[in-house]
Amino acid sequence: MNQSTVYRHPRYYAIGYRWNTGVECDFIEACLSAHGPSTASRLLDIGCGAGRHTIELARRGYRVTGVDVSPEMVAFVQEESKKANLPVTASVDDLRCLSLRGTYDAAFCFMDTFRFLLTNEEITAHLRTVAGLLAPGGLYLTDFWVPAQWDKIGNEIHQWEQTEGGTTVRVFYLQHPESVDPVSQTFDDELVFVVEEPGGIREIRGGPTRTRLLLPQEFGALVGGSGVFSLRSTHGEFDLVKPFDRATLSWRMISVLQKR
């Protein structure tokens, strides 16, 4: 399976990725207030990872379901939500062929998880499946990397670090330029965690993971062509009043889709 081994370490993932969670959840709530069903309460987190949004939104009063292909991530979300006595359901599922049932007011797929859909066919099928899980007028929010400069395609590196308790996690996100296939628009990227704990330092190399380059215009065409969603807006930051444009262009594009 095309899986990074860092996803077998949910506790380190939870520390390394905690930085912007509150702002991202604020954005989800702002989208619900602006466009969502009037009494939105049921949310679906696709590729939920260690559950940073799932758990925060459950704390804010939503009923949240998280799905992820990694059993370790799912077990972690189940344990954390049980400890906090929160109304969360988490299960193993694959975004390329989701098997869960139910009806949700909004779904979201954050932090580049959407780019695991490698072909137009996978993207279209995924959009149709998600639309089938949404209530009328339901929202689907996506957030994935786009190149801020074209000469950086398949060539970006990002790094940051986060500390919680006595543990520091340094996250390195790398793209492997030699792996770029311009025909399929896919390339390998990789996550590396360097973890510093009282017991010592360890490095966890996730290994190359095949991902898709998805450009803004192309994404719009795929959403329109799916026949099930309208693309309401795109943003370069988690801020509804800031559109995705040359001024705000960043390394990520956040999109608000609404079920037709």
What's phi and psi for 71, nearest 5 deg? -60, -30
Instruction: Out of 9, 36, 90, 113, point to the residue binding ligand SAM (CB under 6 A).
Output: 113
Residue nearer to ligand SAM on the CB measure, 84 or 182: 84
Name which of 128 and 260 has its Cβ closer to ligand SAM.
Answer: 128
Tokens of 114: 């959407």
The DSSP secondary-structure symbol of 39 reads: T
Task: Note whether 110 binds ligand SAM by CB under 6 A.
Answer: yes
Could you write out the three-class secondary structure of 114-171?
Answer: HHHCCCHHHHHHHHHHHHHHEEEEEEEEEEEECCCCHHHCCCCEEEEEEEECCEEEEE
Determine which residue in the list 79, 94, 181, 197 makes contact with ligand SAM, applying CB under 6 A: 94
Q: Which is nearer to ligand SAM, 193 or 219 (CB)?
A: 193
Q: Is 70 in the site for ligand SAM (CB under 6 A)?
A: yes
Q: How far is the CB of 38 from ligand SAM (least distance, A)?
A: 26
- Which stretch in 105-113, 133-141, 233-241, 243-251 sits in contact with ligand SAM by CB under 6 A? 105-113
Among 44, 95, 223, 256, binds ligand SAM (CB under 6 A): 95
Instruction: Report how far apart, in Å, the C-alpha atoms of 248 and of each of 7, 149, 234 are.
Output: 30, 13, 11
What are the phi and psi torsion angles at 133 (to 5°)?
Answer: -95, -5
Per-residue CA distances from 209 to 181, 206, 230 (Å): 14, 8, 30
Residue 52 CB, nearest approach to ligand SAM (Å) = 5
Site for ligand SAM in 1-60 (CB under 6 A): 7, 17, 47-49, 52
State the minimum distance, in angstroms, from the CB of residue 95 to ligand SAM.
Answer: 4
Comparing every residue's Cβ against ligand SAM, the nearest one is 49
Choose which of 96, 170, 176, 242 interacts with ligand SAM (CB under 6 A). Answer: 96
Stretch that binds ligand SAM, among 67-75, 148-156, 216-224, 236-244 (CB under 6 A): 67-75
Binding residue for ligand SAM, selected from 56, 80, 105, 112, defined by CB under 6 A: 112
Contact between 189 and 176 (Cβ < 8 Å): yes
User: Which residues of this protein are in contact with ligand SAM, per CB under 6 A?
Assistant: 7, 17, 47-49, 52, 68-70, 73, 94-96, 110-113, 116
